[in-house]
Amino acid sequence: MAIASGVVLGTLARYWMMRRDFRQYPSYPHAVVNHLALGFVAATLGAVAVPAIVAKEYTAVTFLALASTQFREVRSMEREMLGSLEKSEMVPRGNDFIEGIARTFEARNYLVMFIALVTSAVTFRFGVLFGVLSAIVTAFAIKRLMKGKIIKDIANVRSAEFRFEGPNLFIEDVHIMNLGLPEIREIYYKRAKALILEPFDDNAREILANAGQRQAIAHDAALMLGIHRDVDTPEFTPLLRRNTETGRIGMIIVPIEPDEKCLVEAVKNVPVLESAQSNPLASGAGRCASD
């Protein structure tokens, strides 16, 4: 009974984790099956651990070690798949984003293992009802703990005005790029939207300086609002450029949906990538330099 409840609730937890994240999941039915199957394996391994220990079958626990090698495969599988799809994306995710997604996929299997372990242990000791309750509590606790920061937490995002000085595109004081063709500039005047991201502190400034993080923002915004470009018009690739004096970021995008509020919302909800995280304010030199 303990094992069964651990397996079932663990697998359900894997499904729940997949559902709640629309961005990170490409939602192909076959990929869903892949990850559910792996979630099932993880749940089984987690669920048998406690009953095995109680039955003094200590060798069974070594299976957990086997599992970790298996799940490392998941990471490289996701990395390879998303990497090979990069070329066909209008706005690529960038390596940093892909690495973050792949790592999340790996980590979620360990989390499933943990949920299954807790569930089976509690079921074993207190019965099924408490087992189910413990699974729900653990799942919500994990959701809370694993929730990374989003852009809204580190920077103020607001819409801004852009202008052309000759062929050069500026958003307030941030130079974005040089666009030579008048007809392209015309389309920009008609359709483009500009944003400014103002980092709250020095840590945030360094996060936004990361080119991979900026690529992730461009990708997510383009995905949600649609992008007015095709393979032969690279001029309309969304760009985020930095004012090196202030660390402020200017973003220009030519969306299909010209809704500024939705654009700000989309950018605010982009996750802060683990690889972009940096914390200069935690160091003495960083704090001293910040004032």
Partner 1 sequence: MQITITKMIMAAVTCEERKIHGVPVFYARDEEEQERMAVMLSRVMEAVAHDMGNGVYIIVKH
Residue 250: beta bridge partners? 196, 241
From 32-40, 44-52, 57-65, 174-182, span contacting partner 1 (CB under 8 A): 174-182
End-to-end CA separation in angstroms for the chain:
60
Asked whether position 181 contacts partner 1 by CB under 8 A, the answer is yes
The distance of closest approach from Cβ of residue 77 to partner 1 in the complex, given in angstroms and rounded to an integer, is 19
From 129-137, 138-146, 180-188, 207-215, span contacting partner 1 (CB under 8 A): 180-188
Give CA angle at 166 (252, 267), nearest 5°. 5
Cβ-based nearer residue to partner 1, 237 or 278: 237
Give CA angle at 132 (34, 116), nearest 5°. 45
Cβ-based nearer residue to partner 1, 87 or 147: 87
Asked whether position 65 contacts partner 1 by CB under 8 A, the answer is no
Asked whether position 179 contacts partner 1 by CB under 8 A, the answer is yes
Cβ-based nearer residue to partner 1, 27 or 233: 233
Asked whether position 90 contacts partner 1 by CB under 8 A, the answer is no
The distance of closest approach from Cβ of residue 210 to partner 1 in the complex, given in angstroms and rounded to an integer, is 19
Site string for partner 1, 96-135 (x = CB under 8 A): ----------------------------------------
The distance of closest approach from Cβ of residue 254 to partner 1 in the complex, given in angstroms and rounded to an integer, is 14
Amino acid in position 84: S
From 22-30, 122-130, 182-190, 271-279, span contacting partner 1 (CB under 8 A): 182-190
The distance of closest approach from Cβ of residue 164 to partner 1 in the complex, given in angstroms and rounded to an integer, is 10
Asked whether position 165 contacts partner 1 by CB under 8 A, the answer is no
On the CB side of 136, how many CA atoms lie within 13 Å of its CA? 5
The distance of closest approach from Cβ of residue 166 to partner 1 in the complex, given in angstroms and rounded to an integer, is 6
Q: To which residue do tokens 């990361």 refer?
A: 210
Amino acid in position 63: F
Asked whether position 88 contacts partner 1 by CB under 8 A, the answer is no
Q: Give the footprint of partner 1 on residues 207-246 (CB under 8 A).
A: 231-235, 237
Alpha helices in 26-168 (DSSP H): 29-54, 62-85, 95-126, 128-146, 151-154
What residues have CB less than 8 Å from 5, skipping those under 6 apart?
Answer: 47, 119, 120, 123, 128, 131, 132, 135
Interatomic CA distance for residues 168 and 110, integer angstroms: 49
**Per-residue burial over 50-87, b = 16 or more CB atoms within 10 Å of its CB, e = otherwise:** bbbeeeeeeeeeeebeebeeebeebbebbbebbbeeee
* Total binding residues toward partner 1, as defined by CB under 8 A: 16
Amino acid in position 288: C
Cβ-based nearer residue to partner 1, 230 or 291: 230
The distance of closest approach from Cβ of residue 231 to partner 1 in the complex, given in angstroms and rounded to an integer, is 6
* Spatial contact of 255 and 222, defined as CB atoms under 8 Å apart: yes
Asked whether position 183 contacts partner 1 by CB under 8 A, the answer is yes
Give 171's DSSP letter: E
Among 137, 167, 201, 259, binds partner 1 (CB under 8 A): 167
Residues interacting with partner 1, by CB under 8 A? 87, 166-167, 178-184, 231-235, 237
